[in-house]
Structure 1
Amino acid sequence: MLGIKEIEAIIPHRHPFLLVDCIEELEPGVRAVGYKCVTFDEPYFQGHFPQEPVMPGVLRIEALAQVGAVAILSEEANKGKLVFFGGIDKAKFKYKVVPGDRMRLECEIIKRKGPVGIGRAVATVDGKIAASAELTFMIG
């Protein structure tokens, strides 16, 4: 299990934009599974939406991308590099993520060619799919 300090040693994201609390499973260059415990104190809940706080879909996708970045950047050849978005395909949002939810984030690298690849990503809450997408990444 990787905690915040170990995650910060792999990816450059920091609070309040670090959207992964821990990594539970890791196969460098292949896949990673992490979690985000969503609290009412998240800064985006002040405006999205004050009467009914919902985690924005784009932040769910970002959390998935950060888990994918941990998988890619934990590979020995990529340590110290950055990973950038190259594209987001087949994104779907099926279930609201609200304060108190523990979101499971899984990203499996399904294709790679040189510094570009694709990860299949799924976020779930209590076994229900909250978001899914295919994320294209570029190692910089």
Structure 2
Amino acid sequence: MSLLSAKEIMEIIPHRQPFMLLDTVEELEPGKRAVAKKCVSYNEPFFQGHFPGEPVMPGVLIVEALAQAGAVAILSLEENKGKTAYFAAIQSAKFKKKVEPGDVLLLETEIIKQKGSIGVGKAVATVDGKVAVQAELTFAVQ
């Protein structure tokens, strides 16, 4: 059973459909890490044009989903409730596997550094245990 449903995720982060890219949160250590799931379906709006005849989830949206998982972790802290985590930088992004309809993305983001309102997360998205995307994400909480 999931730790947080989509409705509970929306109480933490400001994202809404069609841009909320998390279905559930499976593990959560507030301020430290979050593991979330995204069940990728043929009904995703981006598949209409990316790519006709060969639907592939855009890599930037996988990175965004990882950032949303990190935002759940950092915004779960009492002092950050009601705030927003904004992208400040993306480092070392590597795209290793296509993500297609029917895949279940496991999104893990661990906060590895934080100083004041700026932090860095180590993020890895996998499908069936194989790395699809990995990156280091810098965020600013406001």
**If the length of structure 1 is used for normalisation, what is the TM-score?**
0.99
Aligned to 1:102: 104
> What secondary structure does 2:8 align onto?
helix
2:83 paired with 1:47 = no
Cα separation, 2, equivalents of 1:63 and 1:139: 17
2:18 aligned partner: 16
Q: Show the counterpart of 2:33.
A: 31
Deviations 1:39-84 (A, max 9, x none): 0000000000011000000000000000000000001110000110
CA distance in 2, matches of 1:64, 1:120: 9
- 1:121 CA displacement: 0.2
Where has structure 1 moved over 4 Å in runs of 4 or more? none
Percent identical pairs in the alignment equals: 66
Amino acid at match of 1:130: A
User: Could you say what secondary structure the match of 2:132 adopts?
Assistant: strand
The CA distance in 1 between the partners of 2:52 and 2:21, in whole Å, is: 20
Q: 1:135 aligns with which of 110, 121, 137?
A: 137
User: Is 1:62 aligned with 2:52?
Assistant: no
| Matched residue SS, 2:72 | helix
Match of 2:58, as an amino acid?
P
Deviations 1:19-47 (A, max 9, x none): 00000000000000000000000000000
Distance in 2, Cα, partners of 1:88 & 1:115: 17
Match of 1:92 in 2: 94
Q: Which TM-score applies when normalising by structure 2?
A: 0.98
Cα offset for 1:86?
0.3
Match of residue 5 from structure 1: 7
